[in-house]
Amino acid sequence: MKKLKICLVNADFLPSRGSGQAVYAEKLAAGLAEKHDVIVVTARIEGAPLREKIGKFFVERIPAPKFDPSKWIGFGYQAAAFLHNQEFHKKYDIIHFLDAHVAYAYKGPFVATLHQSFHQRITGDKGLPYASSMQNLIKRYPYYQLSHYLEFLALRKANACIAVSDATREAFAQHYRFNPSKIHRVYNGIDVNRFRPMDTAFLRQKYHLKNEKIILYIGFSTPRKSVETLTHALRYLKTKKVKLVIVGKWEGGYRDKVFKGLGKERNQIVETGYVPDHEIPAYYSLADIFVLPSLLEGFGFPLVEAMACGTPVIGTDVGAIPEIIRDCGIIVSPQRPTELAEKIDLLLNDRQLQTRLITKGMNRVLSNFTQSGMIRDTLHFYRKTVAAYARAKGKS
């Protein structure tokens, strides 16, 4: 089949990695470049070359405003100008914005990936945006309103979109009146050779863990993740000798909200901060249970990574979480620490249930969430889109 020329556009990319979209971009670029010509257009960062080759694909870094707190609005404008001036629409078969709203200023043909909408973020916490404080809410609300408008502009122009889950597909079709036939679901995928059960003796030694049961949370902690639901659940646990390990960085101000009001359960919490990528599978393997207590997830990478490492999962009944877990884990109501504690106790003390969920989870990952499957399905989407371009051109 014809080799495609593919341009991926994402504000965040190597050597920076400030979001899940950056991980998605890396996996997509590397996988597609095995058989196709790929260039990634991203924001310039200090110390990185303007143009370089990483593996089999190229990276082009363009100027973006340094003092743009959104990290994407200014880049979206600059990327649109760069793609237009360089006539990328004539040079590449596919221009793919890896987060749809970034395409708000671009006027050529493009496709985009849908993760979670700003409509969902504005209304996600009982009709209001997620926030760590009233001051944070006042700051966040106008930003979300502007972003929602720019996202609407981008979707009006998109030729077709990838949604990372059926839940995401339905949300965008409903809230933005985007034609569902133009949204194709392609699940995110992980490297199952990397995410697998591993030895964890070095972690138990590092954090002075002996025979405690381990509950794990991994992610960039923001109000949307509702980590306080998990920390507050500790006080209701009946199981003794339990530690909660929290891996990752925090949004400014949110950590104080999470730990405010905690009593003796504070001593049950181990914070690791940033952890190198190569060690992440060991943390999943260390855990008896992985918990994702979010208020919204368009996909939920950590759930899939945990299942691949043989760790039972608990997630909230929001967004794509039930779709990803299905009967391979336990679903709980959001913001209900007592219910969460009850299910943690159940899973920690039922070995047969643990074994059943571990087996089902690992099989589900291999059947639905592999990196090779994501690349295959993305290429299928690209070829359908290129064919549609050709038909439209023939009619004009």
The yes-or-no answer to whether 5-189+371-394 and 200-369 have a common fold is yes
* pLDDT tens series, the chain, 396 aa: 789 999 999 999 988 776 778 889 999 999 999 999 999 999 998 889 999 999 999 999 998 888 888 889 999 999 999 999 999 989 999 999 999 999 999 999 999 999 999 999 998 888 888 888 888 899 889 999 999 999 999 999 999 999 999 999 999 999 998 999 999 999 999 999 999 999 999 999 999 999 999 999 999 999 999 999 999 999 999 999 999 999 999 998 999 999 988 999 999 999 999 999 999 999 999 999 999 999 999 999 999 999 999 999 999 999 999 999 999 999 999 999 999 999 999 999 999 999 999 999 999 999 999 999 999 999 999 999 999 988 877 765
- State how far the Cα of 14 lies from the Cα of 141, in Å rounded to an integer: 30
In this prediction, residue 21 carries a pLDDT of 81
Q: Are 100 and 155 in contact (CB under 8 A)?
A: yes
Residue-wise burial string across 138-172, b where 16 or more C-beta atoms lie within 10 A, e elsewhere? eebeeebeebbebbbebbebbbbbbbbbebbbebb
The fold of the 200-369 domain, in CATH, is Rossmann fold (3.40.50)
Burial of 85 (0-12, 13-18, 19+ CB in 10 A): exposed
CATH class of 5-189+371-394: alpha beta
Q: Are 51 and 61 in contact (CB under 8 A)?
A: yes
pLDDT single digits (tens) 328-359: 999 999 999 999 999 999 999 999 999 999 99
Q: Are 295 and 318 in contact (CB under 8 A)?
A: yes
Domain boundaries, the chain: 5-189+371-394, 200-369
- State how far the Cα of 49 lies from the Cα of 60, in Å rounded to an integer: 9
DSSP state of 4: P
- State how far the Cα of 386 lies from the Cα of 396, in Å rounded to an integer: 16
Q: Percent of the chain having pLDDT more than 70?
A: 99
- DSSP line for 105-154: T--S--EEEE---HHHHHHTBTTB---SSHHHHHHHHHHHHHHHHHHHHH
